[in-house]
Amino acid sequence: MNTLSRHKKLFRKRMNKRGFSSIVGALFMVLIVWSLASAYFFFTLSQNTNYNAAIRQKNQFDLDRLSEVVQISHAAFSADNGYVNVEVRIKNSGPNTANLTAIWVKVIKGGVTNYNSLPINLTVRSGESFAQSFTVPVGGVTPGGNSFASWFITSRGNTVVAQLPSVENIIVASTTQGIGALAMDFQNFTAYRIVKQGSSWYLNFSSGISAYNIKQSNAPLAFCVNFTNMDYPKARDLKLNKNSELFSIFPSTGGNYKAVTWYIANVDQNTGMIQTSFTNQSLYWNTPTMVYFVTRETVSGSPFDAKSFVSDSDMFLGTAPVNLALTGTIGSSPFGQNIPFVSLNIVS
């Protein structure tokens, strides 16, 4: 009996050890399976996150690409030996900044086609519009008898064709084919009185009258001309320098003549304050711009006094022609234009 009892106890110990080992093994198996499952789950989650991020990035890129609205217009071409000069007007009408990375030019002459591209890096902000020129090397090109085409590539992969100027609805007499690049708004030729406030001088905007008929009052007088830059076909921006002037020659009954000159000046559009220094007046293509003619002499940067301005008492009574002698630059070229189509009438 004792021997049998000892065998039973030994058997139970062995069974207990085997049971414990099975439980530990099972636990290890569960842990391994859980670790593998967790790793696979997190790997799948990570890949899914990356995939969704890539899809969002692609969709955003496509949205930005589709919303990119860059217009290349008023293309003008000229050819030299081995080079083509391209002048265009660039406008970004889209909501995002655009970047032009390349320009392509194709030249056809006598059935032979030559073309080439030029890498560029030109940023065009939303709403921005300006003229730009490019010189593209194109082998085999010679002056005369060429047909041109050009297009631009953006960083988002869009292709923008350079459009030639449209001549529809253009009044030629208002452009460089007629009186010059600057067109004057003749209906709104305005005169203002000049007043002093503190140590500064101002155009009294509330005193604006038609400059065609001015009542003499022995007070300083200035003029405002509304110009529009209609440079055709190149659409270049224009700048007037300090030598631009408005002048008139008044005849008297005694046969004498009196010449009076008003030079261009910068005027604050909000307050009417006349600036004591002068910065070249920019006139952007197809944009009406107010230009002021105020002082007896070119603005030198020194403080103004009463002698700096012209009074209508400096002029004879009666009618006299007015000339606008305008100088500056158009694009990178010198500019000069005279507009002789305005008269003054000074009444007592």
pLDDT per residue over 198-210, tens digit each? 999 999 988 888 8
CB atoms within 10 A of CB 75: 21
User: pLDDT at residue 173 above 60?
Assistant: no
Q: Which amino acid is at 4?
A: L
Q: Report percent pLDDT > 70 for the chain.
A: 85
Q: Which residues pair with 175 in a beta bridge?
A: none
Helix H or strand E segment including 171: none
At residue 101, the pLDDT reads 95
- What is the model's pLDDT at position 174? 47
Span 314-342, mean pLDDT? 89
Q: Report whether 109 contacts 145 (CB < 8 A).
A: yes
In this prediction, residue 136 carries a pLDDT of 95
Interatomic CA distance for residues 1 and 334, integer angstroms: 130
What mean pLDDT comes out for the span 19-44? 72
Please tell me the predicted confidence (pLDDT) of residue 235. Answer: 77
Of the listed ranges 9-18, 165-174, 178-187, 221-230, the least confidently predicted one is 165-174
- Predicted confidence at residue 168, as pLDDT, reads 46
| pLDDT score recorded for residue 176 | 42
Q: Measure Cα distances from 169 to 2, 173, 174, 228 in Å.
A: 125, 12, 11, 16
Lowest mean pLDDT among 34-38, 122-126, 334-338: 34-38
Out of 38-42, 179-183, 205-209, least confident range: 38-42
Q: Which CATH number fits domain 172-347: 2.70.50, 1.10.3470, 3.40.50, 1.10.510?
A: 2.70.50
Please compute the mean of the pLDDT values over residues 318-334 and round it to a whole number.
Answer: 91
Is residue 326 a contact partner of residue 283, using CB atoms and an 8 Å limit? Answer: no
Peptide bond into 165 cis (omega under 30): no
What is the structure's pLDDT at 17? 54
Asked whether the predicted pLDDT for residue 333 surpasses 70, the reply is: yes
Question: Lowest-confidence range among 189-203, 263-277, 301-315?
Answer: 301-315
pLDDT in tens, 52-87: 777 777 666 667 678 888 999 888 888 888 999 998
**pLDDT tens, residue by residue, 232-283:** 767 788 999 999 999 998 877 666 778 899 999 999 988 999 999 999 999 9
**Burial level of 289, CB count in 10 A (0-12/13-18/19+)?**
middle
CA 292 to CA 322: how far, in whole Å? 15
Question: Given a cut of 90, is residue 121 above it in pLDDT?
Answer: yes
Which of 56-65, 93-102, 216-225, 294-303 has the lowest average pLDDT?
A: 56-65
Q: For the domain made up of 70-161, give the CATH fold.
A: Immunoglobulin-like (2.60.40)
pLDDT at 7: 53
The arithmetic mean of pLDDT across residues 29-56, rounded, is 75
Q: What is the mean pLDDT of residues 101-108?
A: 94
